[in-house]
Structure 1
Amino acid sequence: MSLISRRNWALRLSIILNICVLLYVCVHFGSSGPWIDDGSVNWESQPLTQVQSVIKNANESQRLPGTITTNVEAKLSKTKSETNNKLPPIVKVEATKRIESENNKDNGVNEADANRPLTQLNQESSPLAQPSVTMTMKDATPCIQKSLKPKRAQRGDYWVLYNYVPMSMSVQCWESITYTTHADFTFLDNLEPLLKRWQAPVSIALHAPGTDFQITLESIKYLRSCGSSLISQLVTFHIYFSNKHVPKVVPPSDKFLNSAPYNCSLSAPWANNHTKMYKTEKKLVYPVNVGRNIARESAVTHYVLASDIELYPNPNLPSKFLEMIRKSNQPELNKPNPKVFVLPIFEVEKNCQPPENKTSLIQMLKAGTAIPFHKKLCSVCHNIPKGKEWQQTPETNELHVFHVGKRTGNFAHWEPIFIGTNSDPMYEERLSWEGKSDKMTQGYTFCVLDYDFLILDNAFLVHRPGIKFYKKDSLRQTLAAKTNVLIKKIILPELKVIYGSRKGCVI
């Protein structure tokens, strides 16, 4: 055989061997390879697809509307179990991240994953599944957390002890509402009945000039030592006094907190000291708006109810309000105008208990044992738009916007009390309680800024029992006349420069 023939046979044999090797490799990998689908799997017959599984898990991880709980509630429940004291149910609002974080740690969930949005985690684990997530209160309330650390500062002519006695419970800015108010020590008997109905944070500024300061400290100690445990858990006390009437001794906050508790066998400090007030002896006016602003600005929550300590809200208001905000399913809530949420106010006879709900309130109005607030003093000051229709509207389980009012026309002198935020105009601090008209300048500003006053259907305030009647007070009349001049000649021109004017807006 020639040399050329031998080479041809060798080449042919090599080609055949290579083909055999390739066939072997294909058969080996093809029997277990991931890219070969023999059509034996029926995906439609599977009980739960990947997408359905992720959506199911996401839905199970979300709290259902109507069953939301809060860090506030959890901590109070823990306190109740530890002390075996029966406490009424606390504010129900969206669960906090801190509780979820603790649960995640217990369940072995990575902290970084726990802090990432559920939708992000789902997208990373399954690009096909992007289930919708119910909006939480944290989503609905962008806010910045404030500190409860005590501090001392000057505010105009006043020294202020901010957070002098802070509440013990830690509350996130988005998970509740703060009732902000003002008083002197003689009004502190209202705090416990107010808190039993409110059951959410309270920020209170106490006017305590001169020797009233020591009695004020004793009154705070009495409330925290001898009253409801809700006082120490949910109430933050601020104290302020004029730089012309500084107390002789002002102990640091921590020294006061660590001092001996009050002897509860003794009566409340305010019981026998009404006639011995330093304020009365020195004939000082009550700087009501200084206290209002201190308490409001110091609130740790985004939403605040700036009110007077003798006005008691109907129970469960914080939870229902926050649920309404979370859902945000009413057109009035989504309009671009600035807005506040108005609570109608009522009075009841002295021998009556404040009603617990709107149904009871309506019954008392029909019986004449309850009337609209200040009906016998200044009916135009607190009448709400469509007030009669509000009383005729039956109570429901949830909270809604009943009507959107404006501070114009027949309501140009309206003094509503409302749930708002610290972005709303503040109170004019040159005005006093004795001089009256202390909220009128703020009302004018709201009008010029075209605020919507969203009147809530099942929320209200009731004054401490006792119908108010007009009493002639020559001193207040004199101070009121001076206040009117101050407003007309000085404050109103300033407001027109700062905010401008609008037709129909008056003080």
Structure 2
Amino acid sequence: MTTKQTKRVAHVLRNRKIYTEVTGNIIWWTSEQRGQYTVLNNYILGAIDPDPVNQPTTLTTQSTYETIDHVVKHCRLFRGPLSVAVYAPGDDFPLAINLIYFLREQCSPINRCIYLHVTWHIVYDSEHPPYYDAVGVSGSSITFPENYVGSFDCKHDINVNVKIQSIYGDQMTTSIQMSSNDITTTTKTTTSSNTIIWWTRQTRGLYTVLNNYIPADLDHYDQLDTSVTMTTQGTYSFIHHIEHQCQRWEGPISMAVYAPGDEFALAINLIYYMKQCSNPCVRTRTTWHLVYDTLYSPARPAGGAVNTSFPDSYLIAFNCSESYQQIIDKFNISQNSSQTFRSVHKLTYPINVCRNVARLNAKTRYVSAIDSELYPSGGLVSGFVKLMERERNISRNYPVVYVMPIFEVDESVAEAPTNKSELSKLMAKGKAVFFHHYTCDSCQSFPNRKQWLNYKPKTNDSLGIFLITQRTRMMTYWEPLYIGTNNEPWYDERINWDGKLDKMTHMIEMCLLGYRLAILDNAFLVHAPGIKRSGRQNDQVFIVVFPNAKLYNTVSSQILPNN
């Protein structure tokens, strides 16, 4: 069967599951003729049906038994549902089935990905049907694929070829070698016939986006309702905050990094430095997306051509004894704000593009768009999941999101508070204030906030709702950060960070849609130590403040009703 024909089978069947009851047995797969070939559609199912809303893209691919192990890397790096058509005529059929089941054994998180998200279709020449007399099964029954599965244990390094030959006899002559070591590898490889690209490229207005460019080591598809994804963003100078965030945030993190031109390679190296040299949560739970101006594409790697296919092609030599700043210094990046790549080319920071990119790539139902310098209180994710279990029993006729109050602490505070008791002590000493207290106090002024401070939760890890309110005219400048879903409005990508007002139209739209804001009683965010005071802003901000304000007025007029 040609590669083109096999690919077509995988594509057509990517989301189809048909159940037929025959003589008391449920047959989940269907058989069809495609020219000279027989196709067993959905012969071995993934445990989870693809979700067309939260996982709209399915990777369709094909193989023979020799290349089935490539699906491990596809599943690990694509991070979504897969539909795989395997060409396996005659004697190859039982061998292919056993290799598939070997991959499905749950011996590592990667195997769990295969078990949950990969659906397999088998294709063979009608003139060369499967070899049937396998493992004591006689006749011409292919009803249940398990009939062909022999005995093996992937908890030990084994040569699958030897094991399967011992089951089927000497007629099984193949050179395939695969062990559990191969399954646990995270190396991104290419072969002469198959280049595995796990990320996707997207154009959003003036910007190019590389989605899932550097993925987390662990998959989070099985945490749809049992976790919350923090979605955050920043430039290379904010990447180091991710360690503080992930140590407090118990769920996955999706971070979009804006890195035009020369800053691209620097950002890649800082990300890999954090993955290798900081807390393991950065490596296991943080997925990175890169954003750059299409007119200012990544600079060439040292001695090479422009090639964004593999991020590690941009890496330079470094070790964990070096500091974060030493890595930056290797790139001769000017520390003068007027001499950076962005400043020289007068590029504004597309914060709302980055916010939306990070949100779009979340794999959980609940998400929280948090800026990179904000650190969450401890136990927030687990407490919120328990709260949602209780909320399911409550019927509300309006949409609601769950707000976390925001604070700043003095730079003399060694570590931001992790619970309300610690926060209250700092507030009493004047070492903590509400966010933007000295620059825009109304921006974080919510109803009864003094009572919120005095409210004492039953325990440090309990979480409930303090009050439910709306963003009324009296709170025009309130910019709450919240936990919600991707059903909430997106951020307007025409508005950038440099001119401020970047979240205001978002809140106007939510207000018009009737959203209620449920303020959490025992969860909060704390800005990295250092309280902001009023002072002169840099020239770059002044250049874009007026255009941004004008654009804000235009966007607001488009959202607000005429009357």
TM-score range, shorter chain: 0.5 to 0.7
Secondary structure at 2:358 match in 1? helix
Superposed CA offset, 1:361-402 (max 9, x none): 111111111100000010111112110110110122321111
State how far apart, in whole Å, the 2-side matches of 1:259 and 1:241 are: 18
Structure 1 residue 270 corresponds to structure 2 residue 366: no
Amino acid at match of 1:458: N
1:168 partner SS: coil
Is contact 1:165–1:238 with CA below 8 Å preserved after alignment? Answer: yes
Instruction: Give the Cα–Cα distance (whole angstroms) in 1 for the partners of residues 393 and 536 of structure 2.
Output: 46
Which residue number corresponds to residue 131 of structure 1?
Answer: none
- 8 Å Cα contact 1:238-1:295 kept in structure 2: yes
**1:299 aligned partner:** 362
Residue 206 of structure 2 corresponds to residue 157 of structure 1: yes
Distance 1:265 1:358 in 2: 36
Cα distance between partner residues in 2 of 1:265 and 1:354: 26
Q: Out of 471, 481, 502, which is 2:535 matched to?
A: 471
Asked if 2 retains the 8 angstrom alpha-carbon contact of 1:211 and 1:247, the reply is yes
1:385 aligns with 2:441: no
Task: Give the Cα separation in 2 of the matches to 1:356 and 1:184.
Answer: 26
402-411 vs 270-279, greater mean Cα deviation: 270-279
Give the structure-2-normalised TM-score: 0.60
Aligned positions of 1:477-496 closer than 5 A: 477-488=542-553, 490-496=554-560
Partner of 2:437: 375
Deviation at 1:478, TM superposition (A): 4.4
Equivalent position of 1:289 in the other structure? 352
Structure 2 gap segments, 5+ residues each: 1-111, 117-144, 147-196, 301-305
Secondary structure (helix, strand or coil) at the match of 2:559 reads: helix
SS in 2 for 1:296: helix
Which of 201, 217, 227 is the matching residue for 2:252?
Answer: 201
Aligned to 1:384, the other structure's residue is in SS state: coil
Inter-partner Cα distance in structure 1 for 2:316 and 2:296: 27
Matched, 1:238 2:285: no
Q: Which residue of 2 aligns with 1:31?
A: none
Distance 1:310 1:161, change over 3 A: same
| Alignment match of 1:403 (pick from 447, 452, 467) | 467
Q: Are residues 1:217 and 2:268 paired?
A: yes
Bigger mean CA offset, 227-236 vs 271-280 = 271-280
Greater share of residues in strand = 2
Shift of 1:453: 0.3
Q: How far is 1:266 from its partner?
A: 2.9
Paired letter, 1:183: G
Q: Indicate the residue corresponding to 1:125 in structure 2.
A: none
Give SS of 1:391's match. Answer: helix
How large is the RMSD of aligned CA atoms in angstroms? 2.6
For the pair 1:344 / 2:395, whether they are aligned, the reply is no
The Cα shift of 1:405 comes to 1.5
What residue ranges of structure 1 are gaps of 5+ in the alignment? 1-97, 103-110, 113-147, 503-507
d(CA) in 1 for partners of 2:481, 2:465? 15
1:270 is paired with a residue whose SS is: helix
Letter in 2 for 1:152: R
* Displacement of 1:465: 0.4
What amino acid does structure 1 have at the position aligned with 2:237? T
| Counterpart for residue 489 of structure 2 | 425
Secondary structure in 2 matching 1:418: strand
Distance 1:206 1:390, change over 3 A: same
Letter aligned with residue 464 of structure 1:
A
In the other structure, the counterpart of 2:218 is 169
Give the AA of the match of 1:471: G
Identity %, equivalent residues: 34
Quick one: distance in 1 between partners of 2:487 and 2:526? 26
The aligned counterpart of 2:371 is 308
Rg larger in structure: 1
* Structure 1 position 501, deviation (Å): 6.8
Alignment CA distance shift 1:379-1:256 (3 Å): same
Which letter does structure 2 place at the counterpart of 1:264?
A: C
- CA offsets, 1:241-290, max 9 Å, x none? 11111123354454628978742233322367443631122221111111
**Structure 1 residue 155: deviation in Å?**
1.1
Aligned equivalents of 1:481 and 1:305: distance in 2?
29
| 1:330 CA drift (Å) | 7.3
Q: Please name the residue that 1:445 is paired with.
A: 509
Partner of 1:285, secondary structure, is: coil
* Partner Cα distance (1:260, 1:326) in 2: 47
Provide the secondary structure at the position in 2 that maps to 1:481: helix
**Equivalent residue runs for 1:185-200 within 5 Å:** 185-200=236-251
Alignment partners' CA distance in 1, 2:434 and 2:457: 18
Aligned to 1:226: 277
Question: What secondary structure is seen at the aligned counterpart in 1 of 2:284?
Answer: helix
What residue in structure 1 maps to residue 94 of structure 2? none
Deviation at 1:156, TM superposition (A): 1.1
> Is residue 212–residue 287 contact of structure 2 (8 Å, CA) maintained in 1?
yes
Contact 1:151/1:163, CA 8 A, preserved across alignment: yes
| 1:335 counterpart residue number | 396
Q: CA distance change for structure 1 residues 213 and 478 in 2, over 3 Å: closer, same or farther?
A: closer
Q: Which amino acid aligns with 1:386?
A: N
Residues 139-177 of structure 1: per-residue CA shift (max 9 Å, x gap): xxxxxxxxx941111111111100000111111222211
- Is the partner of 1:179 in helix, strand or coil? strand
Equivalent position SS for 1:152: strand
Output the CA distance in 2 between the equivalents of 1:367 and 1:253: 52
- State the AA in 1 paired with 2:256: A
CA contact (8 A) 1:347 1:370 kept: yes
Question: What code does the residue aligned with 1:158 have?
Answer: Y
* Comparing 176-185 and 244-253, the one that deviates more: 244-253
Q: CA 1:149–1:424 in structure 2 vs 1: closer, same or farther (change >3 Å)?
A: farther
Which amino acid in 2 is paired with 1:379?
Answer: D
Q: Secondary structure at the match of 2:397?
A: coil
CA shift for structure 1 position 452 = 0.4
Write the distance in 2 (CA, Å) between the matches of 1:153 and 1:218: 22
- Partner of 1:160, secondary structure, is strand
- Alignment partners' CA distance in 1, 2:523 and 2:389: 17
